[in-house]
Amino acid sequence: MTASTVFFLLLVLACPLMMVFMMRGGHGHGHGHGGGHAHHDSREASSEDLRHQREELDRLIAERERTESERELEPTGWGRR
């Protein structure tokens, strides 16, 4: 075998090997980057956890909307002399 043939075979084998390493041995079922599969299996959110998260998000949204409406009411100072 010539060097170019060996290089070509290594290149052809690199694609499936990289796929195996990237999918962590075939356990990655499309849960995103960085090991999302292990995180998904280790913690299933209960309904109560989700309710608490929703309440916290509702509070943060209300706070953000209140802050934005206060900014809209503030004078900008453009027309003053």
- Asked whether residue 37 is domain-assigned, the answer is no
Radius of gyration of the chain (CA): 27
- Asked whether residue 60 is domain-assigned, the answer is yes
- Asked whether residue 24 is domain-assigned, the answer is no
Q: Structurally, how many domains does the chain consist of? A: 1
- Asked whether residue 39 is domain-assigned, the answer is no
- The answer, yes or no, to whether residue 71 has pLDDT greater than 60, is yes
Query: What is the DSSP annotation of 28-42?
Result: -TT--SSSHHHHHHH
Average pLDDT, the chain: 76
- Asked whether residue 54 is domain-assigned, the answer is yes
Query: For residue 56, what are the domain limits?
Result: 46-72
Query: Is the alpha carbon torsion for 42, 48, 52, 57 positive or negative?
Result: positive
What pLDDT score was predicted for residue 41?
Answer: 42
Determine the Cα–Cα distance for residues 34 and 29; give it in Å rounded to an integer: 12
- Asked whether residue 68 is domain-assigned, the answer is yes
33 within 8 A of 24, measured Cβ to Cβ = no
Length of the chain: 81
- pLDDT (tens digit per residue) in 28-65: 555 555 544 444 444 677 889 999 999 999 999 999 99
| pTM for the full predicted model | 0.37
